């Protein structure tokens, strides 16, 4: 314990020295705006700095680090002083933000995979000087700047970081601030491994379930898998248009909404897709839930035909069969099938889930916390769905920062089913962070809920993160002074 506490003190001293040097460099920089320079000078005097702990005896330090509330953090006087970011290579491009305060504690958040970190940076001028413990107040200031899908990435990243900060300020886990927990472990679902042949796939599935311990899987059932088999699709030509029909520009197939492609699946195509599902079901067994996704852009009628062809395999759910905006079509599909239906990963805010919930258009809601509004808004979505007898699963494809935010929210929500873990096979993914409670994030297909660690319960492993930055932006929490000044009148009413 003594050596651990000494290390904590040394780490704190190093961080404060680095931060003080950065702050002074900003003050001395002739390009720094006068209001920013004044702000830096004033906040340098606010609160008790981490260096105040350096002269404490070992017994005093032990008392300091084991008290119920961080004595070096005065929550009522906590102020946001800065926001910085880095861009990791997780899922190609996923940004992490750090919100700093006048008392030396910080919070981590994540901008959803594939979203621009500027969605978060544009919010900096609107939150500087705010108390991060006023999470709902700050959220209401910035929520107007979020939108559906990845446009919500900035708002959600800030909200995550606020809960991390608030938990650290009061020395309690984020789930406690959400009202308490229903579980100590959060069930995860992972992709179903594929293989070059059935034997190889069987071995990989066995490893996923028996060694890694995952008890819920998800697989794609895509028309892309049958496009080259003659007689399986009507109008496959649209999928071949453009230089990259699946991921390409505005004219690509992937950017054409489902009802507008004119693609139909033939009886032969349905048989081929059913064979694929049957093969996986036989490999996995009947005890483990199998969810399905990524069917391709087919209309409502073909979704129903496909759903009926797969019903005998007792799938856990059919995901995003048509765009979430068409709740009436979701309702028609849901009423036509016995297999549960699900959507929600691109929906921002509870208000946009209400048509789906009120009308029982789906059997399960599926928010992505990095798009839905953050921890509190996602818990509200789950609680609201519960009132209508609808369960909640959670979509997640990001770094451990977003992952742990989801874990806290899932722990605090009663009707939760399972949380996606999209980076099971990325060997360095877990090493991006260190848990502050000393345990493992994931064990045998379940995420451990931090029972005592404050905030989200993680710190970045700086050296590992630096090794996995996106090549387009290798900066690492560099100053972002260009985002300090607010230049608009944001009120949405007169």
pLDDT tens-digit series, residues 364-389: 999 999 999 999 999 999 999 999 99
Nearest to 102 by CA among 68, 72, 122: 72
Phi then psi dihedrals of residue 478, to 5 deg: -75, 160
Reply yes or no on whether the pLDDT at 72 is more than 60. Answer: no
Look-up of token digits 């900003």: 26
Label residue 195 by pLDDT band (50, 70, 90): very high
Residue environment code for 56-65, b if the CB has 16+ CB neighbours within 10 A, otherwise e? eeeeebeebb
Q: Which residues contact 84 (CB under 8 A, 6 or more apart)?
A: 97, 98, 100, 477, 478, 479, 480
pTM as predicted: 0.85
Whether residue 490 contacts residue 144, with contact meaning beta carbons closer than 8 Å, is answered with yes
Q: What is the DSSP string of 386-412?
A: HHTT-EEEEB--S-HHHHHHHHHHHHT
SS3 category, 458? strand
**Encoded tokens for 8:** 């904590």
Please name every residue paired with 458 in a beta bridge, in sequence order, or none if there are none: 435
* Domains of the chain, start order: 80-173+479-483 (3.30.390.10), 177-456 (3.20.20.120)
Q: Report CA-CA distances (Å) from 118 to 84, 114, 115.
A: 11, 12, 9
pLDDT tens-digit series, residues 106-151: 999 999 999 999 999 999 999 999 999 999 999 999 999 999 999 9
What is the model's pLDDT at position 71? 44
pLDDT tens-digit series, residues 13-41: 666 677 567 767 766 776 665 545 554 55
Look-up of token digits 């549960």: 340
Q: How far apart are CA 249 and CA 338, in angstroms?
A: 37
Q: How far apart are CA 82 and CA 73, in angstroms?
A: 17
What is the model's pLDDT at position 7? 62
What is the model's pLDDT at position 28? 74
Look-up of token digits 């690509």: 252
Please name every residue paired with 265 in a beta bridge, in sequence order, or none if there are none: 233
Helix (H) or strand (E) holding 58: helix 58-66
SS3 category, 213? coil
Q: Report CA-CA distances (Å) from 425 to 189, 383, 429.
A: 13, 32, 8
Q: How far apart are CA 55 and CA 44, in angstroms?
A: 19
**Encoded tokens for 185:** 């472990």
What's the mean pLDDT when you consider all of the chain?
90
Q: How far apart are CA 408 and CA 461, in angstroms?
A: 20
What is the model's pLDDT at position 252? 81
Query: What is residue 481's DSSP assignment?
Result: G
pLDDT tens-digit series, residues 428-470: 999 999 999 999 999 999 999 999 999 999 999 999 999 999 9
Q: Is 134 exposed, middle or buried (0-12, 13-18, 19+ CB in 10 A)?
A: middle
Gyration radius of the chain over CA positions:
24
Reply yes or no on whether the pLDDT at 277 is more than 70. Answer: yes
Helix (H) or strand (E) holding 156: helix 153-170
Residues found in the chain: 494
């Amino acid at each position: 314990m003594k050596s651990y506490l000494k290390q904590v003190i040394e780490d704190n001293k190093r961080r404060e020295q680095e931060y003080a040097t950065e702050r002074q460099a900003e003050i001395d920089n002739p390009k720094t705006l006068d209001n920013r320079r004044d702000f830096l000078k004033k906040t340098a005097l606010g609160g008790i700095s981490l260096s105040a702990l350096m002269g404490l005896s070992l017994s005093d330090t032990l008392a300091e680090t084991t008290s119920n509330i961080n004595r070096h953090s005065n929550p009522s006087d906590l102020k946001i002083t800065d926001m910085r970011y880095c861009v990791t290579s997780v899922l190609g491009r996923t940004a992490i933000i750090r919100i700093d305060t006048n008392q030396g504690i910080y919070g981590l958040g994540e901008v959803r995979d594939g979203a621009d970190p500027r969605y978060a940076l544009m919010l900096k001028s609107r939150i500087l000087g705010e108390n991060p413990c006023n999470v709902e107040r700050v959220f209401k200031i910035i929520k107007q700047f979020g939108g559906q899908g990845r446009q919500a990435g900035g708002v959600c990243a800030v909200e995550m970081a606020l809960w991390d900060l608030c938990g650290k300020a009061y020395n309690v886990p984020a789930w406690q601030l959400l009202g308490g927990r229903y579980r100590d472990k959060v069930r995860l679902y992972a992709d179903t491994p594929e293989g070059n042949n059935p034997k190889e796939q069987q071995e990989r599935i066995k490893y996923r379930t028996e060694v890694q311990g995952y008890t819920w899987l998800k697989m794609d059932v895509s028309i892309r898998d049958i496009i080259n088999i003659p007689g399986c699709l009507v109008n496959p030509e649209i999928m071949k248009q453009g230089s990259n029909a699946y991921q390409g520009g505005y004219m690509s197939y992937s950017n054409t909404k489902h009802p507008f492609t004119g693609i139909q699946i033939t009886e032969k195509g349905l048989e081929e897709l059913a064979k694929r599902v049957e093969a996986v079901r036989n490999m996995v067994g009947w005890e483990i839930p199998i969810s399905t996704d990524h069917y391709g852009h087919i209309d409502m009628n073909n979704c129903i035909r496909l759903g009926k062809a797969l019903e005998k395999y007792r799938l856990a759910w059919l995901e995003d069969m048509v765009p979430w905006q068409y709740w009436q079509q979701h309702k028609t599909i849901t009423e036509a099938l016995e297999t549960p239906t699900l959507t929600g990963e691109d929906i921002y805010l509870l208000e946009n889930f209400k048509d789906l919930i009120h009308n029982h258009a789906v059997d399960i809601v599926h928010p992505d916390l990095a798009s839905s509004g953050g921890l509190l808004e996602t818990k509200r979505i789950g609680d609201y769905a519960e009132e209508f007898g609808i369960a909640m699963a959670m979509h997640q494809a990001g770094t451990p920062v977003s992952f742990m935010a989801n874990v806290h929210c899932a722990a605090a929500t009663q009707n939760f089913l399972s949380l996606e873990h999209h980076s099971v096979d990325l060997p360095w993914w877990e090493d991006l962070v260190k848990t502050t409670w000393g345990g493992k994030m994931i064990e045998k297909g379940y995420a451990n809920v931090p029972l005592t660690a404050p905030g989200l319960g993680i710190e970045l492993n700086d050296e590992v993160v630096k090794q996995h930055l996106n090549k387009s932006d290798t900066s690492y929490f560099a100053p972002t002074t260009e985002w300090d000044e607010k230049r608009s009148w944001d009120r949405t009413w007169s």
